[in-house]
Chain A
Amino acid sequence: MADIALNPRPARKRIGDVTAWQRLKANRNWLGIWFMLPTAAFLLLFLAYPLGLGIWLSFTDARIGRGGNFIGLENYEWLWGDSVFWLSVFNTLLYTGVASVIKFAIGLYLALLLNQHMPFKAIIRALVLIPFIVPTVLSAIAFWWIYDSQFSILSWSLKKLGLISQNIDFLGDFWNARWSVIAANIWRGVPFIAITLLAGLQTVSPALYEAATIDGASRWQMFRHITYPLLTPIIAVVMTFSVLFTFTDFQLIWVMTRGGPVNATHLMATLGYQRAIGGGYLGEGSAIATAMIPFLLAAILISWFGLQRRKWQQGEAND
């Protein structure tokens, strides 16, 4: 017995005596965090880091090929008094506003149309996607020729029809140029909206329409009180994306006008690129890019709070 007293049994951990680490490993609530870590790392590396770097660069005088020194708000101060920058802000807002509204109108109309029963439905739906599938640069080059000051097919046709006597100066006149690039953007952006809204339309239960028909609702009433409310969440998402894409558009403008004539079609994205990469002033280009963030945030918030203020968001019944 003395042996036993002299050699006490090695202290074994009691069941309840686990380390915090073991607890974290096994805890169900923490499990979610573990699974999210790879994604979080991915987002940090490829989204947060470049964004943070871009914002940091905008506070420096970095040029391409050498790091910059911190200069505080100097880049922004110069931009504040820069008429070309403000022109690009105006152009971007105009471009985004007009193009988004028209894209939405045409897209919704197309979606409603394509939702009808008609022959060759599948083929027509596929065809609608073409502008979206063609690489942007190719469609931009096509539009570049369509808008050519000497060889435009539009001017040529109208001249042959005897409607105009002189070529239309599509990309040389300020407002013509603006409308021309907006038209190209609309052509490109409509399919995305149309097809996404079409997908949304198909989730609306036909039973609702049947019930409304029995109640004697007109087509407009059915659209206003069934289609539109049920489509709102999709509209919110698709328009947020559309606005973001349009606001940050670059390729169409760069290929067609490079921001000309006299900066009349310079968007913030193209101006930022021209100054950061073309001119080598990375700091200032970053400042222009950073200046886009508040506008983009505003666009997201408007769609989130304006269009999606429904209780289903919180998991409750619709009000």
Chain B
Amino acid sequence: MPMLTRRALMQGSTALAATGALAGSGLHEWASAWAQSAPWKPEAGAQLSLLRWKFFVQSEDDSFVSLVDAFSKATGVKVNIIRESFEDIPPKASVAANTGSGPDLFWGLYSLPFLFPQKCVDVSDVADYLGKKYGGWVPTAVTYGKSGDKWIDIPVCFGGNMLNYRISALKKAGMSKFPATTDEFLEFAKATKRNGTPGGMALGHATGDGNTWVHWCLWAFGGNLVDANDKVIINSAETEKALNYAKQLYENFIPGTASWNDAFNNKAFLAGEISWTNNGISIYAAAKRDPTKKDIAEDMDHALWPVGPVGKPTEFHVCFPMLAMTHTKYPQACKALMAYLLEADQYNKWLEASVGYLTHPLNAYDANPIWRADPKNTIFGEAAKRTLTAGGLGSVGEKAAAALADFIVLDMFANVCTGREDAKGAIKIAERQAQRLYR
């Protein structure tokens, strides 16, 4: 019996890996070429572990895995991908930052890196490289990426959160196109309720969908949690108007939205229980994938958020920043991976695989065919350009992140909508909460 030594095993596995690389598609060849010329040379023996948000669109994750595979083959850097529900990423990342151990890379939401900016590897060189090569970053990406004058994360993509509606319900409500203003939108909500095809938006502690719509509403009426100097200014007539408008909307929702978290509206829409809600493209993607939901896929479309009295879009889409922790032993490998993911040969494929769930932060990717392949995708391509940032007028830092995590604005709206408090009372509570964080 031949002795199986460690050396023999190593040689064997190297040979295997090499065969794999040769047999691989063009992706792998490209990856190898890229690895040769990239400005970041991974450290010898580097291994990375990456914690990402758990996908909503399976094909997006499949594509991500194959991109990372190609990266591993080309550079020899093994990457271990861990997935967590996106609400669980901030606590995990915070603990990792606090203890100095854990995954090397975190890919989370909104201002995650700003919870611990001093623990993020400076990735300004990666951001500059990508920005120069791909037509520049959209302004919101810069806001989410930069702390002071250095980039602490790479805002890999945005996730558009738009209005999803059934075309038949819109027609039944007597409208030819989706409402463009808040007033028309309220009429639409009333009409759908009358017609027995109500909609609904989450008012439970829903990090994604809940925060998205209440911030849209607050901003649409000119309300703001804080001003540019992070001074709390929530107590205003504008906020009150926004709350009263939301209450009217809520009265025309399907009952039960006060308990909704991020998953409820997807379930309800796909079950035909609601005719409109706010969501990413994942409902549409799921409907297209499931043959029994074909009628829903054909009968649904997406719309931009209606514009309120402020007269300009006040949308709030999710940003997905990726950061490397300073405790990583392989910062160059981290940078190489981040740069690699956003290179056109990878990123375009990934965008397509995500079927519109992800939106690019770099202008050059406006040209990606996904945005024109299906007219129902198109508006999602504008998410990064249209969104305002967490914190509104104020800084995108840890206070804004804490305010989102503590659901201050969401609870204020839920307080009023459910009739627990009147607008003034709810504003007072929110003001107190905000002052606590912004002190």
How would residues 45 to 80 of chain A score, 1 for a CB under 8 Å from any chain B CB and 0 otherwise?
000000000000000000111100000000000100
Distance, CA A257 to CA B258, complexed state (A)? 10
Partner of B116, one of A65, A81, A260: A65
Distance, CA A173 to CA B118, complexed state (A)? 42
Query: Given A66-B116, A279-B402, A81–B259 Cβ distance below 8 Å?
Result: no
How would residues 199 to 229 of chain B score, 1 for a CB under 8 Å from any chain A CB and 0 otherwise?
0000111000000000000000000000000
Interface residue B50 (Cβ < 8 Å from any Cβ of A) = no
Interface residues, chain A, with chain B CB atoms under 8 Å away? 63-66, 78, 81-84, 147-151, 166-167, 169-174, 177, 257-263, 273-275, 277-281, 284
- Considering only CB atoms, which chain B residue lies closest to A155 in the complex? B256
Query: Given A150-B268, A172-B257, A274–B418 Cβ distance below 8 Å?
Result: no
Chain A residues with CB under 8 Å of B402's CB are 275, 279-281
- We find that the number of chain B residues with CB closer than 8 angstroms to chain A is 44
Q: Is the CB of A169 within 8 A of B205?
A: no
Most A CB within 10 A of own CB, among B115, B204, B260:
B204
Q: Is the CB of A174 within 8 A of B420?
A: yes
Distance, CA A149 to CA B260, complexed state (A)? 8
Query: Given A169-B259, A262-B418, A66–B95 Cβ distance below 8 Å?
Result: no
> Shortest beta-carbon distance, A85 to chain B, in Å?
10
Interface residues, chain B, with chain A CB atoms under 8 Å away? 87, 90-91, 94-95, 97-98, 115-116, 118-119, 203-205, 254-261, 264, 267-268, 271, 273, 398, 401-403, 405-406, 411, 414-415, 418, 420, 429, 432-433, 436-437, 439
Q: Is the CB of B259 within 8 A of A260?
A: yes
Distance, CA A78 to CA B406, complexed state (A)? 15
Chain A residues with CB under 8 Å of B398's CB are 63, 280
Q: Is the CB of A82 within 8 A of B436?
A: yes
Q: 8 smallest A-B Cβ distances: which pairs?
A: A149-B256, A65-B116, A171-B259, A64-B94, A172-B259, A172-B258, A261-B258, A258-B205
Chain B residues with CB under 8 Å of A171's CB are 204, 256, 258-259
Chain A residues with CB under 8 Å of B95's CB are 64, 277
> Shortest beta-carbon distance, B115 to chain A, in Å?
5
Distance, CA A177 to CA B261, complexed state (A)? 14
Chain A residues with CB under 8 Å of B420's CB are 174, 262
Query: Given A81-B432, A172-B258, A177-B259, A261–B405 Cβ distance below 8 Å?
Result: no
Q: Is the CB of B256 within 8 A of A150?
A: yes
> Shortest beta-carbon distance, A171 to chain B, in Å?
3
10 additional A-B pairs beyond A169-B258, A280-B116, beta carbons within 8 Å, are A63-B115, A64-B97, A82-B432, A82-B433, A83-B432, A171-B259, A172-B256, A259-B205, A260-B261, A262-B411
Chain B residues with CB under 8 Å of A173's CB are 258
> Shortest beta-carbon distance, A251 to chain B, in Å?
13
Partner of A280, one of B87, B203, B256, B401: B401
> Shortest beta-carbon distance, A130 to chain B, in Å?
27
Distance, CA A148 to CA B256, complexed state (A)? 9
Q: Is the CB of A84 within 8 A of B256?
A: no
- Considering only CB atoms, which chain B residue lies closest to A281 in the complex? B402
Distance, CA A263 to CA B410, complexed state (A)? 11
Q: Is the CB of B115 within 8 A of A260?
A: no
> Shortest beta-carbon distance, B149 to chain A, in Å?
20
Chain B residues with CB under 8 Å of A174's CB are 418, 420
> Shortest beta-carbon distance, A50 to chain B, in Å?
14
Chain B residues with CB under 8 Å of A169's CB are 255-256, 258-259
Partner of B267, one of A150, A166, A277, A278: A150
Q: Is the CB of B118 within 8 A of A66?
A: yes
- Considering only CB atoms, which chain A residue lies closest to B120 in the complex? A65
> Shortest beta-carbon distance, B141 to chain A, in Å?
23
Report 11 cross-chain contacts, Cβ distance below 8 Å, ordered by A residue.
Answer: A64-B116, A65-B97, A149-B264, A150-B273, A171-B258, A275-B406, A277-B94, A280-B94, A280-B405, A281-B437, A284-B436
> Shortest beta-carbon distance, B270 to chain A, in Å?
11
> Shortest beta-carbon distance, B58 to chain A, in Å?
21
Distance, CA A284 to CA B118, complexed state (A)? 21
Q: Is the CB of B257 within 8 A of A65?
A: no
Query: Given A65-B119, A151-B271, A257–B205 Cβ distance below 8 Å?
Result: yes
Distance, CA A203 to CA B199, complexed state (A)? 60
Chain B residues with CB under 8 Å of A149's CB are 255-257, 259-260, 264
Most B CB within 10 A of own CB, among A66, A84, A173, A260:
A260
Q: Is the CB of A172 within 8 A of B255?
A: yes
Q: Is the CB of B415 within 8 A of A262?
A: yes
Q: Is the CB of B405 within 8 A of A262?
A: no
Distance, CA A278 to CA B95, complexed state (A)? 10
Chain A residues with CB under 8 Å of B415's CB are 262
Q: Is the CB of B116 within 8 A of A274?
A: no
Q: Is the CB of B90 within 8 A of A278?
A: yes
